[in-house]
Amino acid sequence: MIDSKMPEYLANVLVQSYITGNKDLFSLFVTSNQFEDKDFAIKKLGDFLEGISFCFFPSKKWDGNKKVNGGLVIIKNNGNIVILDLIYYRKEVINYLINETKLDSPSTSRFHMLELYKNPIDNKIYFTLNLQIRYKK
């Protein structure tokens, strides 16, 4: 519901992250996809990050509605508490998500990533990559 091409955008990001070793989600999103302009890329990535943070989950079909109506409470290393309010400061929250998330590479052995396997239906060789997005420290 966010963008019909989002799987393609994220696939490009994921492949480029493995090729380059770059884990910066925003820079990969902009450089590995051909967007009209940077603002368009920011909007698409922001919508996606808002969705995975507040709207949808892998185990359920998304109905298009937010599941969270408040925001984020962040406790910094120094003990300060920051509240990101989705109601009054949605733009700031999305900017925070864009600037403070990165790609992460999970255990290759645990998730059987990069292991080659042959698909019995088409007899082609495939391998699995895993997309994980985490907050930066």
What pTM was computed for the model?
A: 0.82
- Please, which pLDDT band fits residue 88 given cuts at 50, 70 and 90? confident
Q: What are the Cα distances from residue 38, in Å, to 3, 10, 22, 51, 56?
A: 16, 16, 19, 20, 25
- Please, which pLDDT band fits residue 42 given cuts at 50, 70 and 90? very high
| Mean pLDDT computed over 43-71 | 86
| Mean pLDDT computed over 56-67 | 83
Check: CB of residue 131 under 8 Å from CB of residue 103. yes
> Given this model, what pLDDT does residue 70 score?
80
> Given this model, what pLDDT does residue 47 score?
93
Rounded Cα distance, 53 and 69, in Å = 12
Sole residue written with tokens 């120094």:
78
- Please, which pLDDT band fits residue 57 given cuts at 50, 70 and 90? confident
Check: CB of residue 106 under 8 Å from CB of residue 90. no
pLDDT digits 0-9 by tens, 102-131: 999 777 777 777 889 999 999 999 988 888
Burial readout 52-71 (b: 16 or more C-beta within 10 A, e: otherwise): ebbbbeeeeeeeeeeeeeeb
Of the two residues 23 and 113, the one the predictor is more confident about is: 23
Q: Average per-residue pLDDT in the chain?
A: 88
Report, in angstroms and rounded to the nearest whole number, the Rg of the chain calculated over CA atoms: 17
Check: CB of residue 47 under 8 Å from CB of residue 39. no
